[in-house]
Structure 1
Amino acid sequence: MIWLFLLNFCRLTTGLMFAWSFVGKLRDFRAFEQAVIRFKLLPSWLYRPATVLFLSAELGVVVMMLLGGSLLRWGFLLAALLLTVFSIALASVLVRKINISCNCFGPSEKPVTSYDIIRNIGFLACALGGWGAALTPQKDLVSFGILEWGLVLVVAVIFITVWTQLEEIVQLLRWR
């Protein structure tokens, strides 16, 4: 039963986080494309295709998390790949001392910091944990009742909120 909770927690967390990211970027596609350009990692002819590819892959993760079944494993792997690529891009910006915003969840003025990488590592651990849990023999997730889904949803939303606001939480705790 614990594997089922882990699997569904990771499934909801990964799906919701990528849905939030996808919607935020789609709402201002141009700002996201500008962020990709400012990262200075790709030749100019790849900016638009890369932007569309990232958004498509994020939507793909969301769809796979929703559909479940055998797609869960692939969804978790795609999520892990995206988070790894995004983390490498964030690290490269920090190493090259480029002062830009992440736009990870939509337009933002907040510059990239090491907390963005830590956040991604937390979500990466969740995606890999979900992938591992999805490898365990499971019949069907239909046996999960509404109460269990509700509990896991609350925990997933709290996890996403804490990890996406990690820098602010640390600063708040340091202030005291």
Structure 2
Amino acid sequence: MNDVAYIGEICRFYVMLVLLAAAAGKLRNIRAFQNALEALTGVSSKWSRGATLYLITAEGLVGLLLLFGGEAARIGMMAAAALFLVFLSVISLALTRRSTVACNCFGSSLHTVSGIDLLRSIGLLTACAIYLGQFGDMNDIAFIDLIAIFGVAMIAALLSIHMQDIKSLLHRRQIIE
């Protein structure tokens, strides 16, 4: 197995973890995400409830498809790329409008939609492209390699999910010094 295949698998697990974390976070406070969706898109509350439930379900199911690998993962990664294109569009629109709506991408949050969210979506879309560009049979991967791949993907997912908090911590450190 070559290094590119390992990178592709890291991308698969990274996207999977981010999607599952997003679905779980939104489930903890569905109403907060629904309100954000209404504010960001202008969708009425009548339609936003269904859209919210659809989006949470889609994130969860696509994340699960990525877990299985093989053809299911390839289909899941294409669906993930479509989701990230939608997210990228909504975030871009919010930034263009200078919206002050809280993101709620991973559950209830106070931080407003920002360039960090745009950067995260671009990174996730790039991970989808990398995986789809190298897609192949991964049956010969050693278990110890799988553990390492999952660990790297977990670190990438945590950094991606908490980029806004990391930025705030780094900014506070500069103010103190």
TM range (shorter): 0.7 to 0.9
Where does residue 9 of structure 2 map in the other structure?
8
CA-to-aligned-CA distance 1:23-47 (integer Å, 9 cap, x gap): 0011211221111112133344421
**Are the aligned partners of 2:66 and 2:74 in contact in 1 as well (CA < 8 Å)?**
no
CA-to-aligned-CA distance 1:86-121 (integer Å, 9 cap, x gap): 121112112112211110111101111111101111
**Are the aligned partners of 1:13 and 1:157 in contact in 2 as well (CA < 8 Å)?**
yes
* 1:147 equivalenced with 2:144 (yes/no): yes
1:3-152 aligned at under 5 Å gives the runs: 3-134=4-135, 138-139=136-137, 141-152=138-149
Deviation, 1:148, is 0.4
Tell me the distance in 2 between the aligned counterparts of 1:42 and 1:30. Answer: 14
What secondary structure is seen at the aligned counterpart in 1 of 2:32? Answer: helix
Where does residue 162 of structure 1 map in the other structure?
159
**Are the aligned partners of 1:8 and 1:152 in contact in 2 as well (CA < 8 Å)?**
yes
Could you state the TM-score of these two structures normalised by the residue count of structure 2? 0.87
Shift in alpha-carbon separation, 1:52–1:171, aligned structure 2, 3 A: closer
Tell me the distance in 2 between the aligned counterparts of 1:50 and 1:172. Answer: 34
- % identical aligned pairs: 28
**Are the aligned partners of 1:17 and 1:160 in contact in 2 as well (CA < 8 Å)?**
yes
Tell me the distance in 2 between the aligned counterparts of 1:81 and 1:39. Answer: 19
Amino acid aligned to 2:47 = L
What secondary structure is seen at the aligned counterpart in 1 of 2:70? Answer: coil
Q: How many residues align?
A: 172
Tell me the distance in 2 between the aligned counterparts of 1:103 and 1:147. Answer: 35
CA RMSD of aligned residues (A): 1.8
Superposition misfits of 4+ residues, deviation over 4 angstroms: 170-174
Shift in alpha-carbon separation, 1:43–1:34, aligned structure 2, 3 A: closer
Structure 1 gaps of 5+ residues are: none
What secondary structure is seen at the aligned counterpart in 2 of 1:142? Answer: coil
Structure 2 gaps of 5+ residues are: none
Tell me the distance in 1 between the aligned counterparts of 2:106 and 2:51. Answer: 17
**Are the aligned partners of 1:6 and 1:133 in contact in 2 as well (CA < 8 Å)?**
no
Tell me the distance in 1 between the aligned counterparts of 2:170 and 2:39. Answer: 32
Tell me the distance in 1 between the aligned counterparts of 2:92 and 2:107. Answer: 19
Tell me the distance in 2 between the aligned counterparts of 1:54 and 1:40. Answer: 14
